[in-house]
Structure 1
Amino acid sequence: MPKILQPSLRFVPFSAQKSVLIPALHSIFSEAITDGDFEFLQDKWLKISILDLQLNWWLSFDQDQLIMASPKDNIAEDVSFSANGDDLVLIAGRKQDPDTLFFQRRLKIEGDTELGLEVKNLIDAIDIEQLPSSIHDLVDFSACFLQNTHDELAVANG
């Protein structure tokens, strides 16, 4: 992720982050939410940390919808996922497998192992083709760009 995004994203107010993130997640996971695939998160909290951007989000599921807690709520998460932004884009764009990144210690999953596995399986089940075309195109472009950059660096250093 460009370093210029680091300070600017970290200072985006929670209400603005929530007003973008929750509708986006509902759009991405609409079928899974309807099918009850998020019920395992009922009364549980998932913390997602984008390490290089110093962003943290706490998500749960209540009354058939995803909910987000403010950092001021001091939520004790049941499971946490943390990675750098580039790696999360690669996962979203299907250029990297979460298991591979986990074993390379680029994706950290801490806390309730069973809950973490359910979250990972839900992420794996995302069909990027079903995302709105603008989001799909942006994720696909970004993931391809990052993968090509990683590949070129590996060849140059290897």
Structure 2
Amino acid sequence: MLNKLRTQLVQNAAQILRSPVQLLPKPLQDKMLFEGLKQVFHEALEDGDFEFLQDKWLKITILDLNLQWFISYENDELIIAKNSISEDVSFAGNLNDLVLIAGRKEDPDTLFFQRRLRIEGDTELGLEVKNLMDSVDLDALPRPLQILINELADFVYKGMRSENDQNGIANAY
């Protein structure tokens, strides 16, 4: 029963969250993303590891939530564009897949080759972004954020695995 409920929640997460998230004003969405990025990439920002993004734009899209952001690096800080602009590279995926990447339950390369993660544009820039994501030490994050990311990724992983087991596709994840 619990597995079925988890599977239903994972399958319908984007549909459940889409309306409430869309009701949040764009400046609040941007602020939440910005603060989250600052925490996750605290060390990388301090070390200047985002310099490769200077004068370049990264578009991040959560496809099933219909959300997108344009991120760059200027004056030693990440910046988020207020409007849509022309990106140099884009990363796009569904909510559950992005949660799995964040929680290290799935490798971005695997999702890319399964066509569950789209990376388009400047290949070299995309590789630098992917490598920077891979370099984040989850253990260095504030403990509450570590727990949130791990628990959420575990929940999604188990829900997707249970869904595949029910469909006869065991061990696909």
**Unpaired runs of at least 5, structure 2:** 1-12, 169-173
Task: Write the mapping of 1:7-156 to structure 2, written as runs, cut at 5 A.
Answer: 7-71=19-83, 74-156=84-166
- The answer to which structure, 1 or 2, has the higher relative contact order (CA under 8 A, 6+ apart) is 2
Contact 2:62 2:95 in 1 (8 A): yes
Distance 2:36 2:157 in 1: 24
Count of equivalent residues: 156
**Unpaired runs of at least 5, structure 1:** none
Paired letter, 2:155: F
CA-to-partner distance for each residue in 1:65-121, whole Å, 9 max, x for gaps? Answer: 0000013xx310000000001000000000000000000000000000000000000
Distance 1:2 1:120 in 2: 24
Distance 2:49 2:76 in 1: 10
Answer with 61-70 or 143-152: which moved more: 143-152
Displacement of 1:19 in angstroms is 1.8
Displacement of 1:2 in angstroms is 4.1
Distance 1:2 1:76 in 2: 26
Paired letter, 1:136: Q
Report which of the two structures shows the higher radius of gyration computed on alpha carbons.
2
Q: Give runs of ≥4 in structure 1 deviating > 4 Å.
A: none
* Identity among equivalent pairs (%): 54
Three-state SS of the structure 1 residue aligned to 2:100 is helix
Displacement of 1:4 in angstroms is 2.0
TM-score (norm 1): 0.94
Answer with 144-153 or 62-71: which moved more: 144-153
Distance 2:144 2:15 in 1: 24
